[in-house]
Structure 1
Amino acid sequence: MKAAGTRGRRLPPGFAFRATVALIGASLTFFTAPSVWPAIQAARADGVPGIFTAEHMECVQHPGHESCQWYGDFRSEDGTVSRTDIFMYGMGKGQLQAGRQTSAVDIGFPNRVYGPGGSNEWVFTVALLLAGAALTLSQLRRIHRSMKNDEAGPEGRRAGP
């Protein structure tokens, strides 16, 4: 039995779908946000400069293309940082040879270093962040609007979406 003066409240049509999409967008934003600063550092090659010595290349075949990475060792110019069995981001097949050395920058990732020209990883990271934020905000705004229209009753509803 309902208390006097209260009426049953129903969720607007499409609420579950919009809430799910907003949650997906929020998750995407949440998990991408920590990668923004490292992506900026990688883009600017902002880290410890040093030398990468190529040891071996590993390739993976995908339908339609092959992806290769050079693994080796990194040693900073001042000798304070030395890392083994890491890969050089952005150096693929034909760009290095075993035993060859090239300039590199360590930005702190545990498994890779970058060339002195930086990387374009930031583009994908920022795109994911913006997509997640856009999904979240657009769906929350639609939920808010539909709940507001529902409260206004039939006379307060607008025609169209």
Structure 2
Amino acid sequence: MAFTEKQEALMKDSWEILKQNIPENSLRFFTIILEIAPAAKAMFSFLRDSDEIPQNNAKLKSHATKVFKMTCESALQLREKREVTVSDTTLKYLGSVHVKNGVIDLHFEVVKEALLRTIKEAVGENWSEEMGCAWGEAYDQLAAAIKAEMKQEPPHQIS
């Protein structure tokens, strides 16, 4: 099924709402990830050494912003190109970081659930199932591109 103009519009509109409060939405995003999978904290260098999610953690905000933005950009690509393309350099980096941190398929599902819940809370009454499906499809395509690159990475050697 092709990504529709309406799906793209729903994502663009919700992204505009999300961008208005990136610090709060980033914090909420990571809070939900850790509610679902507390052990995931060890996978994020900027969270590993703290007892709670810091309110003013610039790296947390930056990371969450990148996830939101890449997912939104994926939607635009799905509409224009019918596939998600990430620059080779970025994809290689994402693949290696995810392999190094031991990311598995289940982790992508946790992030997807947290992403959708965060967006739903942020957009409030503007939320619709169609909006959730659009974000979910864009995220799934981005995750598939990262997973494909992860398979190209040599296994991480523990020394």
Instruction: Give the structure with the larger helix fraction.
Output: 2
TM-score (norm 2): 0.29
TM-score (norm 1): 0.29
Structure with higher Rg: it is 1
Higher RCO (C-alpha 8 Å, min separation 6): 2
Instruction: Give the structure with the larger strand fraction.
Output: 1
